[in-house]
Amino acid sequence: MNRATQNLVLPLLGCAVLRISAFSATYLNYVKPGFRPFLVATGVVLVILGVTGLIQASRPGKPSPEEGNGHAQAGSGDGQDMHHAHSEGPDEGTAGEEHGYEGHRHEGHRHEGHRHEGHGHDHSRGPRVAWLLCLPIFAIFLIAPPSLGSFAAARSDTPPPRDQTLTAFTPLTGEGPTDMPISEFIGRAWDDDKKSLTDRRVRLTGFVVPSRRKGQWYVTRMQIACCAADAFPLKVAVKGLKAPPEDTWVEVTGTWIPQTFGKMPNGVVYPELAGTDLVKVATPDEPYE
Amino acid sequence: MPELRTESRSVWDDQDETVPPDSWGRGASRGRSLPWGFALVVVLLVVGRFTLASRLTSPALQTWATVFVAICVQALPFLVFGVTLSAAITAFVPASFWTRALPRRPAAAVPVAGVAGAVLPGCECASVPVASGLMARGVTPAAALAFLLASPAINPVVLVATAVAFPGQPMMVVSRFGASLTVAVLVGWLWLRYGRSEWLRIPARPHGDGRKLARFGEAMRHDLLHAGGFLIVGGLAAATLNVLVPREWLTTIAGVPWLAVPVMALLAVLLSICSEADAFVAASMTAFSPTAKLAFLVVGPMVDLKLIALQAGTFGRAFTVRFVPLTFALAVLVSVLFGLLGFLGRPPL
């Protein structure tokens, strides 16, 4: 990777980061909402780094530090080019010097300093591995990865962790259906001694995951602790409504079907909802709980 | 995605494989060498946008891409933070500071550096460049390594996250702190006693008499391009495993006590979850014993795929093949020891 490319790839990556954080809410597909300022700062830093690098490289006579003193003697790049192009017979000694120094620089632009100092380690992989920085750029611009959907939700069938901080549930009040996060619904269904969900109409928002069992499907929301790599699905089985197409975002209204078993059985069990109303909705900005 | 990767690989070949004749060097001088590689990237982006983008929609690919981008997006700010700190250490903190701040005897400097890890808030991606910056500034490698291992696990942010993920189990936080610090110091001492300097490639820093600010920027760009590239390697591996390994397998294994600890430790390596988030993941693995969860929490910040890639890129392969197994083995042992000592309440394993 030559120096100019290095100085251009960094700002491009910065722009990709800014595009998903500063100029849209796409970053919510990947990380928690509180992460935005850090992402914006990162994008800005990357852009600044690249731009200052370009300015430094294009400024004649101001050698970048690692190129050291040899540079100051050799003069600016442009000057040299002229020199080589036009002079037929330059002073032999000078030509030799320049030659060696130029060859050096070409080998690995930013590393020649290290070689001089005799650290003797192989730097050739360093700049090459930097090409991989283009992969997230490609992924962001070309695939534009959406939030995790039913493919990911169907893949992991581990029971969600109990939210132990929420054992004291406030009683549900008010008329009409209550909107609640799916995690709260699951918590109330399993862990609420007062059975506050009984006979209450609730409205859940999530995407559709088909079920292997007949006559039911799951309204699902992924929960993330930090980023989408640690996401796990929160599912509520919906009965009594025809399953919409997979991955559609819906609002389901219904009432909880109290479980009939006294103790939790082995395996994965989802709380059930007798659905009454179904509305298709747009994908929310914040797709995770 | 595969097509794209081969594309970029061919770019490397064009750019770096052949050592150009000297006559090339003269023409391609600074400011004049054209960014062909970059131009190709832009062309690919534009062409891909119109031809490929509508086809890259298979759910498996999209899930993979989401996890991959999530890992990158999550780690990048920490990496930039670590790189900034590291560059600041090399550019603005005089070498004499470290000789004064750390005990002169290396054996004493190791635990001090380990405890000092508690003050750097961040995850493991930040600690690698910082540790390399410390070494470049003349800090004993063993002490810098103790810092490298300790800081992602025992800093306040991570400990608070652990406390939140394990409510009512303060001993989990205490054990995590204790076990991680123990492992870090032990590895540091072992490296001091048995480590050889030729294994460890101490990253060189731009010296020279350039202006401090220019040097700062130069060090940052250098580290970002290197560490960033290797971070992506780790992200690729972690995302692939994340999508390929079904998690049901784990619940079956959790029932076998002697398997649970190594499996959770291995899982920590494979999943490469940021140390600020791993406590939540560990807590969600309800089937596993507390000792197995502790092993997950101790191993994760010290050894994982993206860290291995970062370390190999920063300190060299000879270092990584020795350092990683040593750290992994010690981390598992110490976690089991903490479990056996009854720190976690329930009978161990």
pLDDT in tens, A195-234: 788 888 899 999 999 988 888 899 999 988 778 887 888 8
SS3 content of chain B, % helix, strand, coil (to 5): 75, 0, 25
CA dihedral B318, B227, A119, B11 (to 10 degrees): 100
Set of chain A residues whose Cβ sits within 8 Å of the Cβ of B26: 80-81, 84, 98-99, 102
Is residue A76 pLDDT above 60, yes or no?
no
Of A46, A47, A43, nearest in space to A18 by CA = A43
Where is pLDDT greater, at B242 or B325? B325
- Closest B-chain CA to A229: B67
Highest mean pLDDT among A34-43, A176-185, B254-263: A34-43
Six-digit token pair at A85? 């192009």
Is residue B183 pLDDT above 90, yes or no?
yes
Mark yes or no for CB contact A4/B239 under 8 Å.
Answer: no
**What is the SS3 assignment for B235?**
helix
* DSSP codes of every residue in B19-73: PPPHHHHHHS-TTTS--HHHHHHHHHHHHHHHHTTTT---HHHHHHHHHHHHHHH
- Closest A-chain CA to B2: A135
Q: How far apart are CA A279 and CA A248, in angstroms?
A: 10
Is residue B347 pLDDT above 50, yes or no?
no
- Closest A-chain CA to B318: A121
| Cross-chain CB nearest to B70 (options A17, A31, A161) | A31
Six-digit token pair at B278? 């791993």
Six-digit token pair at B149? 């291992």
Of B3, B320, B298, nearest in space to B162 by CA = B298
- Closest A-chain CA to B271: A229
Q: Which residue in A10, A121, A132, A269 has the most chain B C-beta atoms within 10 A of its own C-beta, making it the best mutation to test that interface?
A: A132
**Residue B85: CB partners within 8 Å, gap ≥ 6?**
B120, B126, B129, B130, B133
- Closest B-chain CA to A68: B208
Q: How far apart are CA B169 and CA B153, in angstroms?
A: 17
Count of CB atoms within 10 A of residue A86's CB? 8
Q: Which residue in B221, B250, B297, B304 has the most chain A C-beta atoms within 10 A of its own C-beta, making it the best mutation to test that interface?
A: B221
pLDDT mean across residues, chain B: 78
Count helices and strands (H / E) in chain A: 10, 6
Q: Count of residues for chain B?
A: 349
| Max Cα distance, chain B (Å) | 73
Is residue A72 pLDDT above 60, yes or no?
no
Minimum mean pLDDT range among A177-181, B100-104, B207-211? B207-211
- Closest B-chain CA to A100: B22
Residue A146, phi then psi, degrees to nearest 5: -80, 175
> What is the β-pairing status of strands A178-179 and A216-223?
unpaired
Q: Please give the share of chain A, as a percent, with pLDDT higher than 70.
A: 68
Q: How far apart are CA B91 and CA B85, in angstroms?
A: 10
Set of chain B residues whose Cβ sits within 8 Å of the Cβ of A43: none
Q: Please tell me what DSSP assigns to residue B104.
A: S
Number of cross-chain residue pairs from A and B with Cβ atoms under 8 Å apart: 314
Q: Count of residues for chain A?
A: 289
Residue B100, phi then psi, degrees to nearest 5: -80, -40
User: Which CA distances in Å does B78 have to A27, A52, B59?
Assistant: 16, 21, 29
User: Which CA distances in Å does B185 have to B108, B138, B182, B198, B321?
Assistant: 10, 19, 5, 21, 19
Of A23, A53, A102, nearest in space to B225 by CA = A53
Mark yes or no for CB contact B210/A141 under 8 Å.
Answer: no
Q: Please tell me what DSSP assigns to residue A170.
A: P
Cβ–Cβ contact A269 with B under 8 A: no
Six-digit token pair at A160? 């969600």
- pLDDT tens for B63-96 read 899 989 988 888 888 888 878 887 887 778 777 7
Q: What angle do CA B288, B293, B297 make, to 5 degrees?
A: 160
* Residue A239: exposure state from Cβ atoms within 10 A (0-12, 13-18, ≥19): middle
Encoded amino acid at B87, one letter: A
Six-digit token pair at A223? 């929960």
Q: How far apart are CA B223 and CA A210, in angstroms?
A: 46
* Residue A192: exposure state from Cβ atoms within 10 A (0-12, 13-18, ≥19): middle
> Where is A39: in which H helix or E strand?
helix A36-58
Six-digit token pair at B16? 């770096």
Question: How far does the CA of residue B63 sit from the closest CA of chain A (Å)?
Answer: 6
Query: At what angle are helices B106-116 and B141-154 packed, to 10 degrees?
Result: 20
Of A47, A119, A69, nearest in space to B132 by CA = A119
Set of chain B residues whose Cβ sits within 8 Å of the Cβ of A26: none
Of B54, B85, B48, B1, nearest in space to A132 by CA = B1
Q: Which residue has the tokens 């470049």?
A: B136
pLDDT band of residue A42 (cuts 50, 70, 90) is very high
Question: Which pLDDT belongs to residue B205?
Answer: 59
Residues A54, B126, A227, A39, CA torsion sign: negative
Where is pLDDT greater, at A212 or B254? A212
CA within 13 Å, CB half, B327: 30
| Cross-chain CB nearest to A45 (options B16, B34, B80) | B80
Give per-residue burial for A158-183: e unless 16+ CB within 10 Å, then b: bbbbbeeeeeebeeeeeeebbebebb
Six-digit token pair at B54? 């509508």
Cβ–Cβ contact A160 with B under 8 A: yes
Mark yes or no for CB contact A229/B74 under 8 Å.
Answer: yes
Set of chain A residues whose Cβ sits within 8 Å of the Cβ of B41: 9, 12, 134, 137
Count of CB atoms within 10 A of residue B186's CB? 20
pLDDT band of residue A262 (cuts 50, 70, 90) is low
* DSSP codes of every residue in B294-340: HHHHHHTTTS-HHHHHHHHHHH-HHHHHHHHHHHHHHHHHHHHHHHH
Q: How far apart are CA B287 and CA B250, in angstroms?
A: 9
Cβ–Cβ contact A46 with B under 8 A: yes
Q: How far apart are CA A7 and CA A148, in angstroms?
A: 33
Q: Please give the share of chain A, as a percent, with pLDDT higher than 90.
A: 20
Question: Which pLDDT belongs to residue A198?
Answer: 83
Q: H helices of B196-316, where?
A: 212-244, 248-254, 257-271, 278-284, 290-299, 305-315
Q: How far apart are CA B118 and CA B153, in angstroms?
A: 8
Mark yes or no for CB contact A135/B232 under 8 Å.
Answer: yes
| Cross-chain CB nearest to B73 (options A39, A45, A165) | A39
ipTM: 0.75
**What is the SS3 assignment for A262?**
coil
Q: H helices of A109-149, where?
A: 112-117, 125-129, 134-138
Set of chain A residues whose Cβ sits within 8 Å of the Cβ of B68: 135-136, 139, 145
Count helices and strands (H / E) in chain B: 17, 0
Is residue B22 pLDDT above 50, yes or no?
no
Question: Which pLDDT belongs to residue B45?
Answer: 82
pLDDT band of residue A158 (cuts 50, 70, 90) is low
pTM: 0.72
